Structures are given as structure tokens and as C-alpha cells.
A and B are shown apart, each in its own frame.
Chain A
Amino acid sequence: MTTLGTLSSRALRNGAMQAHEIAVNVPTVTIDDPVAKAVRVMAVGRLPGLIIVDDKARPRVVLPGTQVLRLLVPASYQEDPALIRTIDEAHADEFWSELGDRTVGDCLPKQPSKPVTVPAEATLLEVAALMARTHSPLVAVTSTGGTLVGAVTLDRMLTSLALSGIED
């Protein structure tokens, strides 16, 4: 696994890359963290999404950035666009303050979808196809034990594709 902004020289030299070789370390949150912290982690890390892990560091949910916004929008508005239109500007600007001290777990659906993960040895094609199928710009890379070893971001994926031989 590499740090953000660099690709392993072995990966570039060999051409055939695996998920763990292009994965980067990303900060994570747990379901007990406040939503405000989750948003801060994503903003400071300039991440395209968020990985929520359990107490054994196994990915529990992988949220694309747009779905992190779902954590912020109060539940009473989420399924009702007509109701959202009735909110005056003064309150609309502060919609997130209604969350109070609610945690990530409080705002997730009761039965969240299966986390978007790949094993460490997954090929670039597997990762790209999974991103495309799940509309997720972030994929968690896991070890055989299911623990998080890193993440592949969309940016990272495109950079890897560009460097590994996509011709102009």
C-alpha cells in the first residue's frame, strides 16, 4: 500500500497491478462517531467518500460522498422534495444544525447495503467494474481476515489507468 499521490514503483514497472498496490491509507470513522466528525474527516482528507469500520477495523459501510450528505440531511426531508421546498432560506442554510449530537449509526439506514470492498489481490478491472456498478468513487481494500488495508479512490484509479498504459 502506498501513500496518497504516489504509486508503487513495482506496480508501475510490472504493469499488472493489484488493489493493494494502488490502495492508499484513508482515515475512517465508526458508527459511534458524531456525524460532524465524519464530515470533518472527509473534508480534511479531501476524500470522495467515507469508510465506516467496526471495532475490529472491518469495513461496515462504504459511503460515496453524496451519500455522506444523506447523513446530514434530516430524515424528515430526505424522501419529501415538496417539503424541502417549503423551508425558508434562513432555516435552509442551517439544516445540518438539526442533527445535534447524532452519531453516524443514528443516521445510517437500518439495513445498509453490503460494503463496497475488494480483496487485496483484486485486479484493476475488478476494482473499476465495482466502482462503476455501485456508483462509488471509493472502494475499501480488505485483507483475507476482512480487515481494512486501504482504499482505492476514483482519482487513484484513473491515475493508475493512465500510468499503466492507456494510450492517448
Chain B
Amino acid sequence: MLALAIFIVAFFFIATEKANKVAVVLIAAGAMAVLGLIPGSEVFFSEHEGIDWNVIFLLLGMMIIVGIVKQTGLFDYLGIWAAKRSKGKPYRLMVMLMLITAIASPFLDNVTTIMLVAPVTVVVCNRLRIAAQPYLIAEILASNIGGAATLIGDPPNIIIGSRAGLTFTDFLVHMAPIVVIVFAFFVVFTRFLFRKSFQNAPQHIDEVMALQEKRAITDPKLLVRCLIVLGGVITAFALHSVFHIEPSIVALVGAGVMVLVANIDIGEVLREVEWPTLTFFMGLFVMVSGLVHTGVIGDIGTWAVDTLGNNYLAAATSLLFGSAVLGAFFDNIPYVATMAPIVEGVVAQAPDPQTGEALWWAFALGADFGGNGTAVAASANVVAIGIAARTGHPISFWQFTKYGIVVTALSSIMAWVYVWLRYFV
């Protein structure tokens, strides 16, 4: 009960943002260690009862890779190119920006994608004298949908992939089809969703045309080298199960190669790593290990299995919609880190591996699409709303949520139909 109490108090502070979340998880992890609620040194060495280093080093490697890719200026080039092609037509501009975001987010993490696309969006909207908020909101929604497609696209997927032993290819085969369908629907739906916000601005297109997108890319050779390495890393992710290499090793080797070919100062590269985020993950894993070690997770898992019996469609439904609702109101990273061992327990009781996997996909879809639910549901939302405020285009909690909740509801329903048809019919 003590472990659960510490966890609930910490979760309260994380969810309400009443204190720095990194400090909260470190204090909670420390309290659990002092009180003997975590499995001692096992917390550093046990794959399932401690810090998941596969997740930490996968994130570290990808942060380094992305930190170098973003210096190439590619996204600024693409954003301005898209704006020029849109000729000031708002829906066309929104679709092009969403496409750039959704295509990038499965391969770069959502937060980075947003940090690359949002500033250029603001500049273009300022030039067109139109409100940037609808475009930024659409990009956030697109990044959370697109990121769901791969193992590395969204942090919840990294946690789920590592816990469940699912490969990059597994995610592509099982998640990408529904992500493509949901995104295609979303592109059409935005015309209706933002219909009152579209402002035609062809009279200011000259100011957009004055932007010099070619100047964004100062070193085309660096860009080509980075894209080749990024392509190699993605190929290696796709083949990691064939060669029995952990995704984290692929990311770390890729990061090393990227540093070599880019010939960039290592100190500068390491400044791009979000160390507080990595520390947050480590503390979170220690907290969850306290719940696993003291049997709380096991008890919840047993209760879930007893309640659901052999009705695995009901289990998948509960996981998908439950995760979408809870993932919408809490940051979906701590939510998934906590729920993953519970889901693992339920999956262990499944009659066959396919049914077990279906539960993991239902869980991933719910948590990923739930990230669109509210302004605080995913890190990308918080970061984008911060950029919007600093650039004079503030987005209120409800302004985002009124769009996000509709998209989450519709995408979750589509995902449920997909899970039902693909795994239970």
C-alpha cells in the first residue's frame, strides 16, 4: 500500500504539473528505494523489474540523430516550399503542413517534429496575416496520428515495443495500416473541423514568395549524408529482429555514424539531448518497479483477468477506449509505463500469441490516439502550445481540446473497428 500511496501522490503532481515532473519522479523513486519497496540493485539490471535501458538508449540515440538532422534546414525548406505551393489557400496550406508532419513523425519523435514544423508555420501565417492556431493544432493532431505508425514514432510505442518484445516491422505491419486510414480520414475531416477558421489570404502571398527557402540548406552535402544515414537507421530498425539486434543498439550505432559523417562537435550534439526527459523516464521506471516488486501490478492484472474472463475482445475494447480516455487526461508516457506491466500480465493469460498481440495493439492505439485528447495529453501538445504562446498565437486548453477530443473519439472508434475486424473476426 505504501508503494501505491507514493505512486499516486507522485502521479498527482505529474498530472497536475504542480511541481517539476523530473524532481517528482526522482523524489518518489528515492522514497521507494529508502523504504525498500524496489528490488535493490535489480532496479538497474532487471529488464522487467527495473529501468528499461532499451527505451532510454533508444531515445538517446534518436535524440542525437534528430539533433543533427534538424541542423540541415530541411524542414524549413519544406515548410516554405509547401506555403508557396499553397498560393495562400488555407486548406491547401494546412494539408501540406499536415503531410510534412505526419510523414516525418513516424521516423522522428513527435516533439522534435513539432519543434521543426511549428516555427516555420508561424512565420508563414504571420506573412499571410492569418491566425496560426488552426494550423498548429492540425499539426499536433497529425503528428500524434503519424507517430503511432512505428516503434520509434511515439514514446508510448517505444515502451510497449520493449515490454512486449515487438519489433519495428511488427509495428509497421499492425499499426501503419490503421494510421494511414485514420490520417486520410483526418485530412478530409479538417476541412469540416476548421471550416470557421480558414481565412483566404491570396493578397499577401507575395510576402510568402519573398521567403528564400533555398537559404535554409547551407550544406547540401551534409543533408544528403544525414538522409543516407537516417535511411540506413530506418532499414536497420526494419531488420533488427532478423539480425537479433536491439533497437537501442541500432539507434546508438546510427547516432555514432551520424556524428561521424556530419563532422559536428560532439559537445554541441549532446546539448540537443533532452537529458531531463531521459531522467524522467528512468525515475518513472523505478517507480513502476516499486509497484511490480510489491505485487500491486500483479494484483491489478489478476483482477483484470478475473473480471474479463476469456472475453478478449472486451479486454481489447477496454484497453483501447480506457487508454484513449486516461491517455487524454494524463501524459500518455507515465500512463503507458504504468499500464505496460499490467497488460503484460493479461497478455500472459491469452490463449494464443495472436490474441495477446491484439491486446498490445489495442493498448498502443488507445494510448497514441489518446495523446490528441487534450492540451496536456502528450509532450508534443505541450511543446507546440508553448511555441504558440511565445510567438503571439496563444492556444488555450479548451481551444485545443475541443478539436482534440473529437479527433480522439473518431480515431479511437476507427481503431476499435480495425482491431475487431483484424484480430477477432
The chain A residue sitting closest to B207, CB to CB, is A91
Chain A residues engaging chain B, CB cutoff 8 angstroms: 74-77, 79-80, 82-83, 85-88, 90-91, 98, 100, 102, 110
Interface centre among B115, B123, B210, B212 (most CB of A within 10 A): B123
**How close is A141's CB to chain B, nearest CB, in angstroms?**
30
* B390 closest partner in A (C-beta): A75
Give the CA-CA distance A82 to B390 in the complex, in Å.
Answer: 19
B180 near A: Cβ within 8 Å? no
In the assembled complex, how far is the CB of residue A111 from the closest CB belonging to chain B, in whole angstroms? 9
Q: Is B215 an interface residue (CB 8 A)?
A: yes
Instruction: Check if A82 sits within 8 Å of B122, measured CB to CB.
Output: no
Q: Give complex CA distance A109, B252 in Å.
A: 32
Interfacial chain B residues near A90, Cβ < 8 Å:
210
CB pair A86 B392 closer than 8 Å: no
| Residues of chain B contacted by A75 (CB below 8 angstroms) | 387, 390-391
Is chain B's binding surface mostly helix, strand, loop or mixed? helix
* Minimum CB–CB distance for B225 against chain A, Å: 16
For B393, the closest partner residue in chain A by CB is: A76
Q: Are A102 and B119 in contact (CB under 8 A)?
A: no
Closest to A85 in B: B215
Nearest Cβ on chain B to A70's Cβ, whole angstroms: 11
**Bound: A79/B217 CA distance, A:** 16
Find out whether the CB atom of B212 lies under 8 angstroms from the CB atom of A83. no
Q: A88-B212, A98-B126 are in contact. Are A82 and B391 (CB under 8 A)?
A: no
Other A-B pairs, 14, CB within 8 Å; known A83-B123, A85-B212, A88-B211: A74-B392, A76-B122, A76-B126, A79-B115, A80-B120, A83-B119, A85-B216, A86-B77, A86-B212, A86-B213, A88-B210, A88-B212, A91-B207, A100-B392
29 A-B pairs in the complex with CB atoms less than 8 angstroms apart = A74-B392, A76-B118, A76-B119, A76-B120, A76-B122, A76-B123, A76-B126, A76-B387, A76-B390, A79-B115, A79-B119, A80-B120, A82-B72, A82-B216, A82-B217, A82-B218, A83-B216, A85-B215, A85-B216, A86-B76, A86-B77, A86-B80, A86-B211, A87-B211, A87-B212, A88-B212, A98-B392, A100-B392, A110-B386
Query: Which residues from chain A contact B118 at a C-beta distance below 8 Å?
Result: 76
In the complex, A76 Cα to B114 Cα: how many Å?
12
CA distance A87 to B115 in the complex (A): 18
Once the chains are docked, how many angstroms separate the CA of A80 from the CA of B118?
Answer: 11
Task: Kindly name the residue among B77, B118, B218, B392 whose own CB sees the greatest number of chain A CB atoms within 10 A.
Answer: B392
Q: Does B73 contact A (CB under 8 A)?
A: yes
B199-234: CB near A (< 8 Å → 1, else 0) gives 000000001001111011110000000000000000
Q: How far is the CA of A90 from the CA of B213 in the complex (A)?
A: 15
